[in-house]
Amino acid sequence: MKKHIAILSVFLFMMTAFAQTSVDAKKLGKTLESNKDGSAVFVSEVDLSGMAVADDGKIALPLFAKNKIVLVSGMDMTCIHERIAFANKKKFEVTFETKNLAPKTYAITKIDGIESFAEYSRRIEKEAKYKLGVERAENLKKMPVQVVNQEVVNITSTEAAWLPGQIQDKLKSNLQEYLGMKTVVDAKSEDALKKLQAQSESAARDENTAIELGKIINAKFAVFTKVRKTVKGYTISADFTDLTTGEQLASAVSKEYTQPEYLYGPTGGVDEITLSLASKLGIAISDLNKNLLASGSASFTVDEQLALAKQNEEQYKKLMSQYDSELAKLSVSNDLSAVENKRKIEAEKALLVEKQNSERKRQEELRLQKEREAEDAKLEAERSVALKTQRDKMAKEAAAKAAEVRKLKMSKQGVFGQINVIESKKKALLEIRGSVEARCQELFLQFKKDVATEVERIRSKPYSTVELGIDGKPTEVAKERREKVIIKAYLDSAPKFFSDCEGIKASTRAQDSALLAEIRADQKALSTMRTVSSMGDELKVSFGAYDVSQNGWVAYLSLYSEGVLLYTDTFIVGYDAVSGRIAPDMKTELNDAVIAEYSNNVDMYNSLFTRGDPIVYFEIDYAVSAQGDEKPSTYSFSFNRIRVINTVSGKIMQTSALSKTLARTMKPEQDLRIFDGVEESERAEFNRIYENKMILGW
């Protein structure tokens, strides 16, 4: 029995060994030809670079060119060449199983070292997603983005007229400046976009409709915003959508803000949304810009402020180039929307020029401060340990206290927030009036067309027998009568045109009146005395050298609004105010120790000021009055006093009186003066015809 088992074991071992025989590639062809075992399996390291697989599963391999062997597929050969290429090898261990000995048919059942088709499919899908992601990331900065105010919730009608537009403008600016995107903001396109979006959402999504959205505005992406009034304040939500696929790529919701102006103000709702969208879209934002969006630039070091100023200048150059390009395209079109967009871009370009000039001045001030900082660094080695310790302690205390003060001051920004509200309300009012005028223009073109058709019908109508003279031609009386018929046709049609225009005006009259009343009330409220602090982003202060003759430091103060320099001044911050000590008289003081202490203190404060340590901050009081409508968007600023405050103690160290007044025109100008629209001009024409009974040009 044991003998039989041993023989059987040897036999099975021999079968197994024969069933998977390893063969050198050079001998493989002859081995397969001479094989007599119908269950034999051969394994060989083979060069597959020239392998070809036919649709019917037959395989051609150069290795067997001289052998009478038929090769077929015994495994999934889908995309086999791509799978082989991905393995990045020339030779593979291939398994050949005997299929039929008569025609010497063998099947390739396994190729070691390559992916299975399932693995290949997963890799290709992953690569496609990655490629799509890369393309999308590139498109995010190449393809225009439409900013769409889609919806307002619980917002009053007057707020709804101006607040979404202000948010739209701020978001457009952020997408350009911080995310490097090209943006399109066009009211006419936006109306069409909203309509198509509503249609698309009302039923199953239509890919063609989605693509049409992009065609309308020449954009691939859109940001749909919603403004909502909550119990405690206001919030913004934004959905970043791929228009051609309908895919929502990112969404974000801001926290609640107590005032609507905070939604679009510095470090407000739009800045918060911008950071969130950038993170979700995978767009890198520099640490500088992150800090700017999150907490403003008031706490930036001199180096960071200089880097920001340079960055802004580069961004303004890029935007200027874009504006020039858009203006070149629009200049060849006489379309009404093109003319309107051209005006918008020209206004933005004018504002951009002012911002560029402001940035250049700011950079110059910061460069001078950097030079003083370099000089201060050279003196560092000469300072005593005690002096350095005292300076650094003061700087640390000031920095900690400044963070607390800044939180309070940031919520009490200057008047520019209110001016921006007024200007945005004006813009909304003009857009309402512009939409009325545009609709009246459409009615007028139709009215003119209808009248022209009627005039043509009347004039081409054959004259009757009683209107012809002996010579067969119309009499003068008949001609005059016909002209009167034409005049009557015009006079009969015109009232409907005027009535339709009045109907359009009536539909917006309540909103128009409410907005205008709010604008007048806001303008009146401007005259209240305001205070702005250097703890915010509007007031910038830098220090010059110590002036011994005036016992104080030269300070350069600049007041900004939305990046535009509105006011600049130079004054002296006294030694006694900063140090709490009276500066000695250099002519009469003979005690070297007193002079040494004086010198040490000046040197220490020099170091603190040039490094930008917030040991003091500044407040400026001023009032603003809006000029009359004959001076659109012009405001008169009256500056009263500047205060220098010790950051740590909170005490006012110095007050300097001012008596300066200047006027400033905000860009773009919003002109509220009544203008002669198509209805007014046509009514004048109607009156002329009615009085003179004459009509020309029809």
Sort 235 into a burial class: Cβ within 10 Å, 0-12 / 13-18 / 19+: buried
Q: Please enumerate in sequence order all residues whose Cβ is within 8 A of that of 198, keeping only pairs 6 or more positions apart, or say none.
A: none
- Span 300-334, pLDDT tens digits: 888 888 888 888 888 888 888 878 877 777 776 66
- Span 154-166, pLDDT tens digits: 988 888 888 888 8
- pLDDT for res 251: 94
What is residue 266's DSSP assignment?
A: T
Q: Which helix (H) or strand (E) holds 406?
A: helix 385-410
- Span 571-629, pLDDT tens digits: 899 999 898 889 998 888 889 999 999 999 999 999 999 888 889 999 988 889 999 99
Catalogue the E-assigned strands of 468-604: 530-533, 539-547, 552-561, 564-574
Q: Please enumerate in sequence order all residues whose Cβ is within 8 A of that of 256, keeping only pairs 6 or more positions apart, or say none.
A: 230, 232, 233, 234, 235
SS3 362: helix
- By C-alpha distance, which of 281, 20, 272, 278 is closest to 170? 272
Q: Is residue 283 predicted with pLDDT exceeding 80?
A: yes
Q: Which helix (H) or strand (E) holds 251?
A: strand 248-253
Mean pLDDT for 188-208 is 57
- Residue 209 contacts residue 200 (beta carbons within 8 Å): yes
Mean pLDDT, the chain, rounded, equals 84
pTM, entire model: 0.66
Q: Is residue 212 predicted with pLDDT exceeding 90?
A: no
Q: Is residue 134 predicted with pLDDT exceeding 60?
A: yes
Mean pLDDT for 284-293 is 89
Q: Is residue 14 predicted with pLDDT exceeding 50?
A: no
pLDDT band at 11 (very low <50, low <70, confident <90, very high): very low
- CB half-sphere exposure, 1, CA atoms < 13 A: 0
Cα(first)–Cα(last) distance of the chain, in Å? 124
- pLDDT for res 523: 92
Q: Is residue 207 predicted with pLDDT exceeding 80?
A: no
- pLDDT for res 557: 87
- By C-alpha distance, which of 403, 367, 360 is closest to 617? 403
Poorest-confidence range of 331-335, 543-547, 647-651? 331-335
pLDDT band at 217 (very low <50, low <70, confident <90, very high): low
List C-alpha distances in Å: 581 to 136, 215, 574, 655: 63, 71, 10, 16
The Cα–Cα gap between 243 and 662 comes to 48
- pLDDT for res 6: 47
Torsion of Cα atoms, 283 then 288 then 290 then 296, to 10° = -150
Q: Is residue 364 predicted with pLDDT exceeding 70?
A: yes
Q: Is residue 410 predicted with pLDDT exceeding 80?
A: no
The Cα–Cα gap between 502 and 181 comes to 42
Mean pLDDT for 397-406 is 85
Mean pLDDT for 246-253 is 90
Mean pLDDT for 120-129 is 89
Beta bridge partners of 235: 228
The Cα–Cα gap between 274 and 178 comes to 8
pLDDT band at 413 (very low <50, low <70, confident <90, very high): low
Q: Is residue 378 predicted with pLDDT exceeding 70?
A: yes
Share of the chain above pLDDT 70, in %: 88
